[in-house]
Amino acid sequence: MIRIRQIGLLLSLLIGLSTAAAEQLSIAVASNFTAPMREIALEFEKTTGHQLRISYGSSGKFFAQISHGAPFQVFLSADQAKPAALCDAGLAVPASQFSYAIGALALWSPESNTVDEQGVILRTGNFNKLAIANPLLAPYGRAAVEVLKHLKLDEVTRDKWVTGENIAQTYQYVSTGNAEIGFVAVSQVIENGNLKSGSAWILPSDLYSPIKQDAVLLTSAKDNQVAKAFIAYLKGSEAQEIIRAYGYNVAETN
């Protein structure tokens, strides 16, 4: 009888472990980080056996959804302000916030000879539409406006701006020809250090404020071991190697 009980207990533990292993982690990810996140997710799942359910989109929309109870467990924002605001509201764990990537900005065209390495086309005005992300919502949009102001080209180009809701939509405007050129995330056009297509000017970092992108553990998952394992993996060397391959920098404090 004791042996049967022991076997039953063992089976219960195994079932519990199996259930834990099958647990899905729900993550909200800024759209600019789509490409590296897909690689990171594959490696994390392969390494740990855990499953990730990832939503990509506007950080502003995710912030609103999380504020209204959306069931995410980890948030990878395109900025620092939104994770900090969630911490202030008691919706995220303050000690968990960290910069997982520092973004970079590029002026890009899908055509091979349109943008040179100094972005001369911006000064000549030889284009009809310039795509930028909404500077009121998107850090990459704010950075684009900073660049134009620094170059004293914000007013002369303003009538040609086509504004995307986020950096993913901005990239789409350019890639589909709705704008000849656009300010996009370097991660959208660079892979393993090489330009995937078209032509681009990688903007000097002194033309805009650092685009620090922070991740945070949401309060609902403060005791979730899978969530903690993912954040630890995101800080690790394997994930950082992938992040750098897409043109991001990684904060030394990680």
**Edge-to-edge strand order for the sheet containing 161-164?**
161-164, 130-133, 181-185, 105-109, 199-202
- 156, two tokens: 């002369």
Known binder of ligand: residue 132?
A: no
**How buried is 154 (Cβ within 10 angstroms: 0-12 exposed, 13-18 middle, 19+ buried)?**
middle
- The reply to whether 59 sits in an annotated binding site is yes
| Helix, strand, coil content of the chain in percent (nearest 5) | 50, 25, 30
Both tokens of 62, joined, read 């995710």
What is the Cα–Cα distance from 53 to 27, expressed in whole angstroms? 6
Measured distance CA(126)–CA(124) in Å, rounded: 5
User: CB neighbours (10 Å) of residue 115?
Assistant: 23
CA angle 249, 250, 253 (to 5 degrees): 145
List, as residue ranges, the binding site.
Answer: 59, 167
The binding site for molybdate consists of 59, 167
